[in-house]
Amino acid sequence: MTSTDAAKLTADLIRCPSVTPEEGGALVLLEDLLSGAGFTCARVDRNGISNLFARWGERGHAKTFGFNGHTDVVPVGDAAAWSVDPFGAQEKDGILYGRGATDMKSGVAAFAAAAIDFVSDTPPDGSIVLTITGDEEGDALDGTTALLDYMVEQNEQMSVCLVGEPTCPNEMGEMMKIGRRGSLNAFFKFTGVQGHSAYPHRANNPVPVMARLMDQLSRHTLDEGTDHFDASTLAVVTMDTGNPATNVIPAECRATLNIRFNDAHSGASLTDWMQTQVDALAAETGVQIDLQVKVSGESFITPPGMLSDLVAAAVEAETGRTPELSTSGGTSDARFVQHHCPVVEFGLVGKTMHQVDEQVPVTQIHQLKAIYSRILSDYFS
């Protein structure tokens, strides 16, 4: 039987310094490996971002299982704070260290190894597609979206997809994601009239207006949660005047907030709500308030059913745990895939992702490969 070592592949990928947006050799390595195993591969690079599409089997087959993941990583930060070379892939006492060890070169290695072994040993009646991007940790404008655009152009199709992001908070197998909250950032600019702080009546101070609006928005209860989501959250993340003087009322100040929202809202409905509050306060105070909103992703849910049951059964068989079906956490590229086909996420314990000395137990990499292998076997059986 074929046995591709997912831990060794993880280490090889860690040694590729693929800090967003650099490819770093990671996709070249994977393309060589997958091509050698009979996968049809194509680089889908766009606007300087590197992406890889790989398919085994017939194009557009009615039964096509997809995996999605990324090889780009966040910067290492203070390299001197690391106890190991961030790109050295050092293993100590059964722990593999390096940037991307958890998020998510181990996940990519596990599903690539599982797919290679599966098609080599038990070629299925169907197809397997791997979409691997170098732009998940960046702006995500030319990563998975470019791959999905390419698939439309080439008449490629996934029936279902599993994203291999870390999903377990503490123990392997305890959680999978069947959806994600939406996320938006709102940027406020307040423009009043500058003046001397001893003569406030001659100015129109935008700072109290900023504080009032941020308090007003943050005290508002957006919702109490929905069937599959916790309550939406709103957090004020910065308020700035850039004013070093104590005797000057500034003419301008700015604030930013972030909203993580469930399926009771959309980016558009939340924008309309904020604009209503802005218009009312601007009319009352005479301070001009400009609002700009950037929606990172809308909320989505893949209703529990065939796909989540398939993944949960494989996880339980390999770990002894029944994973919780969750929508918690931040955004992921599943927000793009959900427009293409049903999608869920399952991966490693994510406690050290983005941290100094990011690490993964080698046994977990092998366990993850075993889970992915079982999912493929059960899907095509």
What are the catalytic residues? 72, 136
How are beta strands 51-56 and 40-43 bridged, if at all? antiparallel
Angle between helices 206-219 and 267-285 (to 10 degrees): 140
**CA 52/CA 215 separation, integer angstroms:** 45
Residue 4 belongs to what H/E stretch? none
Residue 188 CA neighbour count, 13 Å, CB half: 33
Contact 280, 245 (CB under 8 A): no
Residue 205's nearest CA partner among 214, 196, 213 is 196
The answer to whether 351 and 170 have CB atoms below 8 angstroms apart is yes
Question: For residue 256, how far is the Cα from the chain centroid?
Answer: 21
Rounded Cα–Cα distance for residues 274 and 213 (Å):
10
Question: Is it true that the peptide bond before 104 is cis, omega within 30 degrees of 0?
Answer: yes
Compute the distance between CA of residue 310 and CA of residue 162 in angstroms, rounded to an integer: 11
In angstroms, the CA 114 to CA 56 distance is 13
Taking the CA atoms of residue 80, residue 83, residue 89 and residue 90 in that order, the dihedral angle to the nearest 10 degrees is 150
* Cα distance between residue 341 and residue 131, in whole Å: 13
What is the DSSP annotation of 266-335? -HHHHHHHHHHHHHHHHHHH--EEEEEEEEEE--EE--SSHHHHHHHHHHHHHHS---EEE--SS--THH
CA 332 → CA 155, 279, 328, distances in Å? 24, 33, 11
